[in-house]
């Protein structure tokens, strides 16, 4: 039982104290709830801002990835230690490797077909300079630069190397130089034709008269041979002048349908007539696929070009070996191929093979392959030396495909 005024007073005081404490707790709870609500609103706004930034970064990342996929320059990213972290599609093409084969490897371990490093990473920064890179798919001339990647505080995070393929530019520059040389050759050729051909014709004519006189009236065999050599030398000089003039100022082509199979066979037989000794132990193989393929070409001029290549091949074989003459359709082109099993073309001479007056022969005029290239180009074609495939040399002549078909035995 609760008795007495003191006990009641104590209870009231206790209830009053409890009420005060309850009000304080309620007030603190209300304040905490308001604070929590405010923090929730601030956190929601912060999350919204953060999500916006994440979305922007994802969009930017996607845009950068799209740019890296689209640009023709190769881009490779490496860590400070030179470990490759990323390579764009252009870099895969230029390095002739997939991204999976590149990522995770040291940059210094990426080498070309000759064992030379391709990348400048991780040595130094700045311009890398031009370098020749040989891969299984051919040679390329690359240049570029290496740029460091740093964070906001300036701490280096890695390196980026940008690769540019300069092969086409170099080829165009060389083509411009070649055309300039041909233009100059045209001016020289006009002088040669005027100043040399007329007296040369006189020499040839008088030598021919002397040869006939000696044949009719003299038994001097030595003098007759000398007269024959004068005629041969004059004819050879006239051929050189004619080749120079054609290089500089080619005459229009007389095009028609040319059955490739018979064309290859006839051209070889025509060349062989003049050099039987060079063909004595040569295994000649002719293959055309399909057999009815034809070219829209000047048979005389194209035959002159093909005969030159066949003559060179036979001379390189020295009378023994294998000669392959073939043709095939490749997409919208027709490729003719002349390949021999001889010693091949010296690497130092390959880049200059088609220059006028350049020859690897001690007695060569250096006009043969230049003339071949000129004739091929007049047919809207291209000629190239095949990359080394073991012993021998191979030339590929590529022409636009003709829709005309002929019988394989047609001329």
**52-105: per-residue pLDDT in tens?**
887 777 777 677 777 777 788 888 888 888 888 888 888 888 888 888 888 888
Q: Is 308 part of any domain?
A: yes
Provide the pLDDT for residue 306.
92
Q: Which long-range contacts (CB under 8 A, 24 or more apart) does 249-256 make?
A: 249/186, 249/189, 250/374, 250/375, 250/378, 253/297, 253/298, 253/301, 253/378, 253/379, 254/298, 254/300, 255/296, 255/297, 255/298, 256/296, 256/297, 256/298, 256/299
Q: Is the pLDDT of residue 234 over 70?
A: yes
Do 220 and 333 fall within a single domain?
no
Do 159 and 178 fall within a single domain?
no
SS (H, E, C) the chain: CCCCHHHHHHHHHHHHHHHHHHHHHHHHHHHHHHHHHHHHHHHHHHHHHHHHHHHHHHHHHHHHHHHHHHCCCEEEEEECCCEEEEECHHHHHHHCCCHHHHCCCEHHHCECCCCCECCCCCCCCEECCCEEEEECCEEEEEEEEEEEEECCCCCEEEEEEEEEECHHHHHHHHHHHHHHHHHHHHHHHHHHHHHCHHHHHHHHHHHHHHHHHHHHHCCCHHHHHHHHHHHHHHHHHHHHHHHHHHHHCCCCCCCEEEEHHHHHHHHHHHHHHCCHHHHCEEEEEEEEECCCEEEEECHHHHHHHHHHHHHHHHHHHCCEEEEEEEEEEECCEEEEEEEECCCCCCHHHHCCCCCCCCCCCCCCCCCHHHHHHHHHHHCCCEEEECCCCCCCCEEEEEEECCCCECCCCCC
Do 383 and 260 fall within a single domain?
yes
pTM of the complete model beyond 0.75: no
Which are the contacts of 157, defined by CB distance < 8 A and separation ≥ 6?
A: 79, 80, 149, 150, 151
Mean pLDDT across the stretch 292-309?
Answer: 90
Q: Is 409 part of any domain?
A: no
Provide the pLDDT for residue 389.
55
Is the bond into 122 cis (omega within 30 degrees of 0)? yes
Q: Is 189 part of any domain?
A: yes
Chosen domain end from 165, 197, 215: 165
Do 272 and 175 fall within a single domain?
no
Provide the pLDDT for residue 395.
92
Tell me: the pLDDT tens digits for 27-49? Answer: 888 888 888 888 888 888 888 88
* Percentage of the chain lying above the pLDDT 90 cut: 9
Do 32 and 140 fall within a single domain?
no
Q: Is 195 part of any domain?
A: yes
Q: Residues 165, 94: contact at Cβ < 8 Å? A: yes
Who wins on pLDDT, 316 or 152? 316
Do 51 and 112 fall within a single domain?
no
Residue 322's CATH number:
3.30.565.10
Mean pLDDT across the stretch 286-296?
Answer: 88
Domain residues for the domain of 363 are: 256-400
Provide the pLDDT for residue 411.
38
d(CA 117, CA 133): 9
Provide the residue count of the chain.
Answer: 411
Tell me: the pLDDT tens digits for 327-378? Answer: 999 888 999 999 988 888 877 777 788 877 777 776 666 778 888 998 999 9
Do 17 and 152 fall within a single domain?
no
Provide the pLDDT for residue 263.
92
Provide the pLDDT confidence category of residue 410 given band limits of 50, 70 and 90: very low
Do 94 and 214 fall within a single domain?
no
Q: Is 177 part of any domain?
A: yes
Do 390 and 290 fall within a single domain?
yes
Do 274 and 182 fall within a single domain?
no
Chosen domain end from 143, 165, 187: 165
Q: Is 210 part of any domain?
A: yes
Q: Is 61 part of any domain?
A: yes
Mean pLDDT across the stretch 240-247?
Answer: 73
Measured CA angle at 282 (ends 276, 286), to 5 deg: 105
Do 100 and 37 fall within a single domain?
no
Provide the pLDDT for residue 92.
87
d(CA 9, CA 2): 11
Q: Is 222 part of any domain?
A: yes
Give the sheet arrangement for strand 382-385, strand by strand: 281-289, 320-330, 333-340, 394-400, 382-385
Do 22 and 86 fall within a single domain?
no
Give the count of domains, the chain. 4
Tell me: the pLDDT tens digits for 272-282? Answer: 887 777 787 88
Chosen domain end from 189, 214, 248: 248
Mean pLDDT across the stretch 316-329?
Answer: 88
């Amino acid at each position: 039982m609760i008795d007495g005024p003191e006990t009641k007073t104590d209870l009231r005081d206790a209830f009053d104290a409890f009420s005060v404490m309850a009000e304080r707790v309620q007030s603190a709870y209300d304040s905490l709830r308001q604070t929590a609500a405010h923090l929730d609103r601030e956190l929601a706004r912060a999350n919204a801002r953060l999500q916006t930034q994440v979305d922007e970064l994802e969009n930017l990342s996607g845009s950068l990835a799209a740019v890296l996929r689209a640009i023709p320059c190769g881009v490779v990213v490496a860590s400070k230690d030179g470990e490759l972290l990323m390579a764009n599609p252009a870099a895969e093409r230029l390095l002739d490797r997939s991204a999976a084969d590149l990522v995770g490897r040291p940059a210094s371990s990426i080498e070309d077909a000759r064992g030379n490093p391709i990348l400048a990473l991780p040595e130094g920064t700045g311009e890398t300079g031009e370098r020749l890179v040989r891969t299984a798919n051919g040679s390329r001339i690359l240049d570029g630069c290496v740029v460091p990647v740093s964070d906001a505080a300036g701490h280096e995070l890695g390196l980026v190397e940008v690769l540019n393929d300069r092969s086409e530019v170099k080829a165009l520059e060389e083509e411009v130089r070649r055309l300039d040389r041909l233009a100059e050759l045209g001016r020289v050729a006009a002088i040669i034709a005027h100043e040399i051909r007329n007296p040369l014709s006189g020499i040839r004519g008088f030598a021919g008269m002397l040869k006939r006189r000696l044949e009719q009236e003299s038994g001097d065999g030595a003098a007759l041979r000398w007269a024959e050599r004068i005629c041969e030398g004059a004819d050879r000089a006239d051929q050189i002048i004619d080749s120079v003039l054609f290089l500089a100022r080619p005459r229009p082509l007389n095009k028609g349908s040319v059955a490739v199979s018979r064309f290859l066979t006839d051209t070889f037989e025509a060349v062989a007539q003049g050099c039987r000794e060079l063909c004595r132990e040569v295994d000649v193989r002719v293959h055309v696929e399909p057999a009815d393929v034809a070219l829209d070409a000047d048979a005389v001029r194209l035959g002159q070009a093909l005969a030159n290549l066949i003559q060179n091949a036979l001379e390189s074989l020295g009378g023994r070996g294998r000669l392959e003459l073939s043709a095939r359709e490749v997409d919208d082109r027709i490729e003719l191929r002349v390949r021999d099993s001889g010693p091949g073309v010296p690497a130092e001479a390959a880049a200059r093979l088609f220059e006028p007056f350049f020859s690897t022969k001690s007695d060569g005029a250096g006009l043969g392959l230049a003339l071949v290239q000129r004739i091929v180009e007049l047919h809207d074609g291209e000629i190239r030396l095949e990359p080394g495939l073991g012993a021998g040399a191979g030339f590929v002549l590529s022409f636009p495909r003709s829709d005309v078909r002929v019988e394989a035995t047609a001329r």
